[in-house]
Amino acid sequence: MFENKNWRVVSLITICFAVYFAVSVICLAFGWKWEPLDKVNLITDVFKIDENTEKTAQKSTVKNSGNQNLPTDFELYKKPDLITRFYKDQNVTALAHLAEKLHQLKATGKGKIRIAYFGDSMIEGDMLTQTLRRLMQKEFGGYGVGFLPIHTNVGNFRQTASVTGNGWNTVNFMDKSVKNMYISGFAFSGTGNSKFVDKSVNAGSSLQKFLLYGNSNGASVNFNGSNISLKGNFAVNSQMLSSDTLATVNFKSNSANLPLYGMSFESENGIILDNFSFRGITGIEFKKINEDFLKAVQNANHYDLVVMQYGVNLLWKPDTKDFSFYTKNMNPVLEKFNRAFPNTDILMVSSADRAFMYNGSWQTATGLPNVLETQAKLAFDNHLAFFNLFETMGGENSIVDWANQNPPLANKDYIHPNARGTDILADKIFKALMKDYKKYKPKTQTEK
């Protein structure tokens, strides 16, 4: 007769189960990750862990530029006049990379610090950014208006520069099938012509004029009457066309297929602050620009600080309070920016105040606190710095107060601060930047 050996199978299964169970318990208890257990863990499949709790635990500390784990406090997002990376220790610099570059520029007077300031109609026509640029350049040196698009429809009321011309084919964020326009949200082609004027500089100041363009493929342009051959076959190229005291230049493309992005007016050293305004957007439109293109932007024009000021266009209905769709769509954008700009500080500036009519009077949108928390959580989860513009301008119903002042600081649409109002906001952002900068402690030789 044959011996029944089923007990061996049962024993083997029991031993395997016991080992599997023990490993599952250990991984759960100590928070260890092991890829074979990621899909099926005997404990976590029985005792479900709240995703938000797990994420919060994972993000209870963030890394600063010194690669030190520091305790954080999410509630810091509610504070006015504060640029925070949510460190509990508020003596730690939030924008460490920028602070180091500012320190070097202050000490030597050499080098450029480039800032990209993205936003919606609140910064259209260089509103807010023109004042912030002037204050930063006064403190750290530099001049020039920075980036100007090849063509614009808002040049009539911009005080710092003008762009006029015709004959251009334009694509932008709102074109559904188009990808990889420039970070301004626009790209141009054709044999058009443009006239650029930098109105921000003093007469006689030497200005470097750079053209930003795509794959040149042997193309040339006409600049102030002279043909110039373009070099570079990258997705984004930057070529200096002249360095002289001319603040007005004329430009024409000799190639209908040359991708064109803009012209930049810069001093040799100092602060260069680029205004990238696009009316009506929330920031998720950057999903149309892929990571490789963003890296090409950074390679051609290295940015030390990226500022994203959005939010008010999320509040287009008076009773909207659920912004989970924004988190879902904006997270991949911010993750992509972090990868494309690894050595750049990214600062999220929150929505300002925005009012609707409720029960016969203008009041702050009921969903605005939710927008602020959503934006702060995006910044926190993606290790960005954060600045609460809503609280900084006065908090609840501040846009109504601003619009009703004499002289007014905001328009009666109860959305947009006017020139006086944006000057105030720029000054507050500048002071917050300086407060953060003064926390900076230069690295020793052993730390570098």
Asked whether residue 411 falls in the same domain as residue 305, the answer is: yes
Domain count, the chain: 2
> How confident is the model over 240-295, as pLDDT tens digits?
999 999 999 999 999 999 999 999 999 999 999 999 999 999 999 999 999 999 99
pLDDT-based confidence at 196, cuts 50/70/90?
very high
Strands (DSSP E) found in 64-104: 69-71, 83-84
Is position 11 within any domain? no
Which residue, among 180, 174, 193, 288, has the nearest Cα to 235 in the 3D structure?
180
> How confident is the model over 12-24, as pLDDT tens digits?
667 766 666 665 6
Asked whether residue 277 falls in the same domain as residue 380, the answer is: yes
Cα–Cα distances in Å, from 401 out to 318, 395, 407, 419, 431? Answer: 19, 10, 11, 16, 23
Query: Residues with Cβ < 8 Å from 51, sequence gap 6 or more?
Result: none
Q: Is the dihedral of CA 369, 371, 375, 378 positive or negative?
A: positive
pLDDT value of position 55: 40
Is position 339 within any domain? yes
Please compute the mean of the pLDDT values over residues 364-381 and round it to a whole number: 99
pLDDT(211) > 80: yes
* CATH number of the domain enclosing 223: 2.60.120.1360
Q: Which domain holds residue 204?
A: 146-268
Task: Yes or no: say if 251 and 193 are a contact pair by the CB < 8 Å rule.
Answer: yes
pLDDT value of position 47: 43
Asked whether residue 330 falls in the same domain as residue 422, the answer is: yes
Is position 264 within any domain? yes
Asked whether residue 240 falls in the same domain as residue 297, the answer is: no
Is position 57 within any domain? no
Task: Yes or no: say if 330 and 313 are a contact pair by the CB < 8 Å rule.
Answer: no
Asked whether residue 280 falls in the same domain as residue 413, the answer is: yes
Distance CA 114, CA 355 (A): 34
Asked whether residue 264 falls in the same domain as residue 276, the answer is: no
Distance CA 91, CA 43 (A): 42
* CATH number of the domain enclosing 431: 3.40.50.1110
Asked whether residue 87 falls in the same domain as residue 171, the answer is: no
Distance CA 251, CA 117 (A): 25
pLDDT value of position 25: 54
Distance CA 116, CA 345 (A): 11
Token couple for 434 = 């300086």
Residue type, 137: Q
Token couple for 8 = 């061996």
Asked whether residue 172 falls in the same domain as residue 257, the answer is: yes
From 250, 268, 286, the end of a domain falls on 268
Helix (H) and strand (E) counts for the chain?
11, 21
pLDDT value of position 443: 73
Asked whether residue 200 falls in the same domain as residue 232, the answer is: yes
Is position 376 within any domain? yes
Q: pTM, whole model, 2 decimals?
A: 0.85
pLDDT > 70: what percent of the chain? 84
Distance CA 331, CA 158 (A): 32
> How confident is the model over 308-345, as pLDDT tens digits?
999 999 999 999 999 999 999 999 999 999 999 999 99
pLDDT-based confidence at 63, cuts 50/70/90?
very low
> How confident is the model over 85-124, as pLDDT tens digits?
999 999 999 999 999 999 999 999 999 999 999 999 999 9
**Dihedral-angle region of residue 240 (phi above 0 means left; psi in -120 to 50 means alpha; beta otherwise):** beta
From 233, 268, 303, the end of a domain falls on 268
pLDDT value of position 203: 93
pLDDT value of position 44: 44
pLDDT value of position 33: 44
From 235, 268, 301, the end of a domain falls on 268
pLDDT value of position 16: 62
Is position 231 within any domain? yes
Burial state string for 294-303 with b = 16 or more CB within 10 A and e = fewer than 16: bbbbbebbeb
Mean of all residue pLDDT scores within the chain:
90
Asked whether residue 233 falls in the same domain as residue 312, the answer is: no
Asked whether residue 256 falls in the same domain as residue 320, the answer is: no
Asked whether residue 153 falls in the same domain as residue 138, the answer is: no
DSSP H/E element including 37: helix 35-38
Is position 375 within any domain? yes
Distance CA 29, CA 414 (A): 52
| Secondary structure (3-state) at 24 | helix
pLDDT(347) > 60: yes
Strands 237-244 and 83-84: unpaired
| Secondary structure (3-state) at 263 | strand
User: What CA dihedral angle connects 389, 395, 400 and 404, to 10 degrees?
Assistant: -90
Residue 20: Cβ within 10 Å count: 15
Is position 48 within any domain? no
